[in-house]
A and B are shown apart, each in its own frame.
Chain A
């Protein structure tokens, strides 16, 4: 009996927290009225990926619990973002619940008022389980989810930290220690590079736009800040120039040829084939790296924090949230679904599948949950990164233009262009765009 209870709890924690508590006979502090909106039909629009999979795989449990029917659809990220924006602009979206990318959409959604305010629901014990409290979300998560007025417009769902992946075998062969600083990393990368063998010390995103997500790790660690108090963009200052020099050095001296066109996919291909010794990217790639069918480096991969720069050590952070369309007619039912998505049970499953890292500390720090994570070293790198997490992009409306414009400057430095000149040129192009979109 005891065994049965424990396994039940670890499996269903959170999702059925209230239910499980009442089953065990403990007095529940408050009950969620799961069945209140029974019979409602909800539409969910998801970006394709492990988070969407996680929702769809277990959605039947939610329907059994609440009687709410959920129709969900996964669309590739870029197209999903477009579809969501176009439908929300029309004022009559076909969906109630939205999976959103904070680092691209936060400002845009807030300014347009597309999301419903969740603050009252969070305080309502008939809608929110007692363990779901604001303080359980990491600082980055709250920063993403809240607007200037302190309203919660979404629930932080899954966070992406940037981490350093390294090939233990290649490092050992040249007796190189895991680098602690960016400078050490660049030197190590040069030592590890052996073009005759087809082995390169470092790989990472060179492709315009995508490369910004990696570059900001360098920028933040060189002491860079994106915006000043008045909202002016600062990423062409001395810190940016130094960070770009490092970026240029790494990707031209010790990265595979053609890296200027690499996104994470091509980088991962190099790394899984054992052709690259170190790789900085988002934390979600442990499953493919440890999959014997897709990778030649299974069991040889080390995971650690992004090395420190001269002005500190930060991990660029990005994230997804789940929110309710302001135009939805089923907001309470939609909220029930959102809090289920962000629940401990669902978060634990996401973490254990390696598909994402929940924003909730109570999940990531839970030793019971950790037992179910296959790659312990990976989990440790994520926990460590959470402590040095910092938003990886400026919170502005024209994020896409910013990534494209400055990203193109970075790519240009890989063909030998001067970092300072390129950054200056890019920011001259970008400043009027920022001005235009933030002034209104």
Chain B
């Protein structure tokens, strides 16, 4: 008790101005998060931009070169090709899992015996480590000894070169990516399907709609928000995809499957050209921002049509 009486005058002094101006009490709580964000997001970014303005090679003194690393990018055929590969790879590995995943979700939404078990099996690829998957698929793709060509030979299709030919390497890699990530899309879409009320289906049945019409005009619009989320997650994953490509082809044959990420890795960690690598990272970041902006724009449009449709 005596303690309280001793401190109370001081407390009273402080309490008085507090009524006029309340110091924001949340600041101390913001500081830890702010420090973390500054240290692991803002600072590395500024530092990357700063490095990209230098001729910065490991073991050699650095010099300021302005924008010349960026100018070098415009005349670098390997980089320009890598941008193309990234876009094709991303587009394919977003679209295919979306389509197949939706199909799988519609199938697994039906009630049939052993559904739970089969669902469990279907999502197993997702649980495996990409590098391990990559090594297994490399052997499966082997033109002479791989199991894929053996399976094709059973149905009379000639042997394919898969990842060992520049023309088929990206589709083959997308095959692996699709195999692994279709289940994720399926899980998301299944969630969406479970949330759809049954009334629209009942009235459609009364109106005599076909299965396709039901899917096209009821199911698809109602699961659109879920497809959008799945697409967003896939896009982010596909753009930054590294492990599967690196484990299977390392960007080859030649540079036929070299995405920006792989090229960036070579420049920074095999050629130790840190300045140029940083410039690539900056451009890569801008590309991701642009893609995200497009996605957000599409989403805005979609929300609008949804509301319009509802009104």
Contact = CB atoms under 8 A, between A and B. Distances in A.
A339 interface: no
B250 interface: yes
A207 B61 CA distance: 34
Interface in B148-183: 159, 161-166, 169
B266 A261 contact: no
Contacts of A275: 144-145
B119 interface: no
Interface string B45-64: 00000000001011111000
Interface stretch (A27-35, A379-387, A404-412): A404-412
A440 B60 contact: yes
Contacts of A108: 58-59, 272
B142 interface: yes
Given A78-B270, A207-B252, A261-B169, 18 more contacts: A85-B59, A85-B272, A112-B60, A198-B144, A208-B255, A256-B144, A257-B164, A258-B144, A258-B162, A260-B252, A260-B253, A261-B164, A261-B253, A270-B145, A400-B271, A404-B266, A404-B270, A437-B57
Contact of A411 (B61, B161, B253): B253
A269 B249 CA distance: 17
A261 B252 contact: yes
Contacts of A88: 59
A208 B144 contact: no
Nearest to B144: A256
A167 to B, nearest CB: 15
B250 A207 contact: yes
A82 B269 CA distance: 6
B254 interface: yes
A111 to B, nearest CB: 6
A114 interface: yes
A415 B168 CA distance: 13
Contacts of B251: 208
Contact of A258 (B55, B61, B78, B142): B142
B17 interface: no
A178 to B, nearest CB: 24
B32 interface: no
Given A112-B58, A408-B254, A260 B266 contact: no
A257 B165 CA distance: 9
Chain A interface residue count: which class?
35 or more
Contacts of A260: 164-166, 252-254
A269 B58 contact: no
Nearest to A422: B254
Q: Which 3 A-B pairs have the closest CB atoms?
A: A258-B164, A112-B59, A258-B143
Interface in B66-80: 77-78
A257 B254 contact: no
Contacts of A404: 266, 270
6 contacts: A88-B59, A207-B252, A258-B143, A260-B253, A270-B145, A408-B254
Given A261-B249, A412-B254, A429 B77 contact: yes
Contacts of B59: 85, 88-89, 108, 111-112, 114
Contacts of A411: 252-254
Contact of B144 (A270, A401, A437): A270
A209 B254 CA distance: 9
Contacts of B266: 400, 404
Nearest to A270: B144
Contact of A208 (B60, B252, B272): B252
Instruction: Assign chain B's interface to a size class.
Output: 20 to 34
Interface in A255-277: 256-262, 266, 269-270, 273, 275
Main secondary structure of the interface of B (DSSP, over half): loop
A323 B122 CA distance: 52
A256 B162 CA distance: 14
Contacts of A14: none
A120 B285 CA distance: 51
A206 interface: yes
Contacts of B271: 398, 400-401
Interface in B231-286: 249-255, 266, 269-272
Nearest to A107: B59
A160 B254 CA distance: 25
Contact of A266 (B60, B142, B161, B270): B142
A273 B143 CA distance: 13
Most buried by A among B55, B77, B144, B145: B144
B53 to A, nearest CB: 16
Contact of B161 (A86, A257, A270): A257
Interface in B218-237: none
B142 A269 contact: yes
Nearest to A440: B60
B61 A257 contact: no
Nearest to A256: B144
A111 B58 contact: no
A258 B256 CA distance: 14
Contacts of B142: 258, 266, 269
B252 A257 contact: no
B253 A207 contact: yes
B63 to A, nearest CB: 9
A256 B77 contact: no
Contacts of B253: 206-208, 260-261, 411, 414-415
Contacts of A262: 164
Interface in A262-301: 262, 266, 269-270, 273, 275
A89 B165 contact: no
Contacts of B58: 85-86, 89, 108, 112
A261 B163 CA distance: 7
A266 B162 CA distance: 14
User: Which one of B78, B142, B166, B272 has the greatest number of beta carbons of chain A within 10 Å?
Assistant: B272
A400 B267 CA distance: 9
A408 B250 contact: no
A170 to B, nearest CB: 15
Contacts of B250: 207-209
Q: Which residue among A114, A273, A414 has the maximum number of chain B CB atoms within 10 Å of its CB? A: A414
B162 A408 contact: no
